[in-house]
Amino acid sequence: MSDTYYHDDPIEPETPKRKKTSALAALVLFAVGGFYLQSTLAANLSVSSGRGIQFGQGIIQTVACSGATVLTLTPSSSFVNASGAGGHKFSSVTVSNIPSGCNGYDFTINAYGDSDNTPLALFNSTSTSAVVYDNAGTFQVGLGGTGTSITSGSGTFTVTFTTPVATAASVFKITMQSAAHSSFVSLLAAADMHNCVIISGAVKCWGYNGEGELGNGRTTTSWTPVSASGLSSGVTALASGAFHSCAVTSTGTVKCWGDNYFGGLGDGTTDSSSVPVPVTGLTGAAGIATSNAQSCAVLISGGAKCWGYNEQGQLGDGTTTNRLTPTSVSGLSSGVVAIGMGDSHSCALLSSGAVKCWGDNFYGELGDGTTTNRLTPTAVSGLSSGVTAIAIGHIQSCALLNSGAVKCWGYNSQGQLGDGTTTNRLIPTAVSGLSSGVTAIATSVGGNHSCAVLSSGTVQCWGNNYSGQLGDGSTTQSLTPVSVSGLSSSAITVATGQDHTCALLAAGSVQCWGNNSYGQLGDGTGSTSNRYSPLNVISLF
């Protein structure tokens, strides 16, 4: 079995290592639609009633999500000296006393000049709105976030316009409204050391970027999400492999980006690309899967095509020849509803509820009761029906049954099969304690841990925990599922990287934990410290 692209040795896993409010604040104006400040700068700002209110003084109002609770808004200016001429700029807005009823809402802040019609550019040449998302009491900069920073605490946030265009002298009116959050993460994909998401049809990625796997035209690691070039809308499916990612568009085409040494991008070359490139000759795609250096697509017709690295037969075309463009998986011309890929093996879920696997089988990861490699799909023992989802990892595989139970098979040195042992399994074996109630599963492509989402919205993980990827607050390996602690809301799905884990939450946000050597947790801190419990991924919206 080739270890060309292994990042987790089968024996020992590798770990890549306000101004104070004055008395005049009592002069207040209730304005459900917003609050208003009139400015001549040399004089004082004043509310529309003509009462004097300066920058740095609080004004209170209600918004749609706050009900009877009033919020305090404090606009601030700061002195600047441009070309020897003094002046002020509108530098920040603090909003406080935000109630829990605003969880899941966006706050949109605009500033207007004397015309009272056209919003002013607040922090760059085009952005006129600052949007802050109340993510269950943790505040995140959303739309218009370029050139903006945010600090927050309990029930309060301050948005600072780091490169504002609007000056304090030009501000006549400032408005703030709340509305239900309009942008949500619909799909989450985790790779070895980077992650990608779909947000309202657009792709954003963060983490390691040495091969261009973030798709933003650069090879610089990012601790916060960045947009993938040319994928601002219309993306319906997404998968991230070790060093590359692929996306399915609404037209049924596929684009991939990142490392292409073995043809995993499917564009007919071995040239890596830091921006998405079309997969050659592929149309009618509905789903996608990626791994170390290979990719597979599920077609609308129910067929499957794969491309890239094929030394162990993981492309399923009956050969061990690498393919630079898509090739059909033998015997799977119809009936495929999902595909998953491990290091050197692949599996398909069929419409009948059966599972078939192919490729490397050194540790029994094909689940057919043998350790014989298969160049074409072979049936997984005991799973001829009743499977609703599959998760294919490093050298292990898992299936979710229609009963809500989970079964896994293959390599088990770190307890990633969850059966309470470290014994490899050649056929599916039940995960301890998960005989019902599971709604989603994941197992690490580059590592040795697995996770499940329960119907209660909680997450449980098991296996290797060297970097805290199990999320239970420790680094203790577990041979059976343990609960992830500290998720801010119910989980919808979970994704596992090499030594980190991320969960997509019902609030529409993402939290991650575990190894952060390359910013794969997306917390924006620039810290490479591992995290043993969930952190919010910032700047998603």
Q: Is position 108 within any domain? A: yes
Which of 503, 488, 497 is CA-nearest to residue 515?
497
Q: Is position 359 within any domain? A: yes
Instruction: Verify that 109 and 222 share a domain, yes or no.
Output: no
Tokens of 286: 């509905």
Reduced to 3 states, what is the DSSP secondary structure of residue 395? coil
φ/ψ of 244, rounded to 5, equals -150, 165
What pLDDT is attached to residue 507?
Answer: 66
Top mean pLDDT of 17-31, 132-146, 234-248 is at: 234-248
Instruction: Verify that 521 and 472 share a domain, yes or no.
Output: yes
Whether pLDDT at 217 is above 60: yes
Task: Work out the percent of the chain whose per-residue pLDDT is above 90.
Answer: 62
Contacts of 452 (CB under 8 A, 6+ apart): 400, 406, 431, 434, 438, 440, 441, 442, 459, 460, 461, 481, 494
What pLDDT is attached to residue 173?
Answer: 72
Contact 524, 510 (CB under 8 A): no
What pLDDT is attached to residue 446?
Answer: 85
Whether pLDDT at 144 is above 60: no
Task: Indicate the average pLDDT of the chain.
Answer: 84
Instruction: Verify that 65 and 132 share a domain, yes or no.
Output: yes
CA distance 23 to 353: 70
> Cα 290–331–406 angle (5° rounding)?
55
| Helices (H), ranges, 241-313 | none
User: Of 145, 163, 180, which marks where a domain is finished?
Assistant: 180
pLDDT in tens, 348-392: 999 999 999 999 999 999 999 999 999 999 999 999 999 999 999
Whether pLDDT at 26 is above 60: no
Length, in residues, of the chain: 541
Class of residue 156 by CB neighbours under 10 A (exposed 0-12, middle 13-18, buried 19+) = middle
For the chain, the farthest-separated pair of C-alpha atoms sits apart, in whole angstroms, at: 84
What pLDDT is attached to residue 78?
Answer: 74
pLDDT in tens, 151-210: 888 899 998 876 666 776 677 777 788 887 766 788 899 999 999 999 888 999 999 999
* Sequential DSSP letters for 305-337: EEEE--TTSTT-SSS---EEEEEEPTT-SS-EE
| Helices (H), ranges, 335-440 | none
| pLDDT level of residue 124 (50, 70, 90 thresholds) | low
Q: Is position 133 within any domain? A: yes
CA distance 351 to 364: 24
Q: Is position 479 within any domain? A: yes
Which of 406, 534, 401 is CA-nearest to residue 480?
406
pLDDT in tens, 253-275: 999 999 999 999 999 999 999 99
Q: Is position 541 within any domain? A: no
Whether pLDDT at 127 is above 50: yes
Contact 464, 416 (CB under 8 A): yes
Contacts of 33 (CB under 8 A, 6+ apart): 175, 177
Whose structure tokens read 């393919």? 323
CA distance 453 to 458: 6
Instruction: Verify that 68 and 168 share a domain, yes or no.
Output: yes
CA distance 497 to 533: 15
What pLDDT is attached to residue 6?
Answer: 32
Instruction: Verify that 290 and 162 share a domain, yes or no.
Output: no
Tokens of 361: 């089988």
Instruction: Verify that 160 and 230 share a domain, yes or no.
Output: no
pLDDT in tens, 395-450: 999 999 999 999 999 999 999 999 999 999 999 999 999 999 999 999 998 899 99
Count of other CB atoms within 10 angstroms of residue 515? 27
CA distance 433 to 423: 18
Whether pLDDT at 502 is above 90: yes
Contacts of 533 (CB under 8 A, 6+ apart): 468, 471, 472, 473, 484, 485, 486, 513
pLDDT in tens, 510-525: 999 999 999 999 988 8
Instruction: Verify that 175 and 285 share a domain, yes or no.
Output: no
pLDDT in tens, 104-121: 788 888 777 765 567 777
Q: Is position 364 within any domain? A: yes
Instruction: Verify that 195 and 303 share a domain, yes or no.
Output: yes
Whether pLDDT at 4 is above 50: no
Instruction: Verify that 194 and 173 share a domain, yes or no.
Output: no
Instruction: Verify that 227 and 328 share a domain, yes or no.
Output: yes
Mean pLDDT over 283-304 rounds to 96
- pTM for the complete prediction? 0.74
Task: Identify any residues that bridge with 207 across adjacent strands, giving them in sequence order.
Answer: 194, 222
DSSP 152: E
Instruction: Verify that 82 and 216 share a domain, yes or no.
Output: no
The 10 Å CB-count burial string (b at 16+, else e) for 249-262 is beeebbbbbbbbbb
Task: Label each residue of 186-213 as H, E or C.
Answer: EEEEECCCEEEEEECCEEEEEECCCCCC
User: Of 129, 153, 180, which marks where a domain is finished?
Assistant: 180
Contact 377, 345 (CB under 8 A): no
Q: Is position 4 within any domain? A: no
Instruction: Verify that 107 and 129 share a domain, yes or no.
Output: yes
Q: Is position 3 within any domain? A: no
For the chain, the domain total comes to 2
Contact 389, 397 (CB under 8 A): no
The 10 Å CB-count burial string (b at 16+, else e) for 475-501 is eebbbbbbebbebbbbbbbbbbbbbbb
Contacts of 193 (CB under 8 A, 6+ apart): 16, 207, 208, 497, 498, 500, 515, 517, 518, 520
What pLDDT is attached to residue 531?
Answer: 96
Whose structure tokens read 């919010």? 536
Tokens of 323: 């393919």
Domain encompassing residue 146: 24-180
| pLDDT level of residue 41 (50, 70, 90 thresholds) | very low
CA distance 341 to 392: 5
What pLDDT is attached to residue 442?
Answer: 97
User: Of 180, 210, 238, which marks where a domain is finished?
Assistant: 180
Contacts of 317 (CB under 8 A, 6+ apart): 306, 310, 323, 327, 328, 329, 330, 375, 376
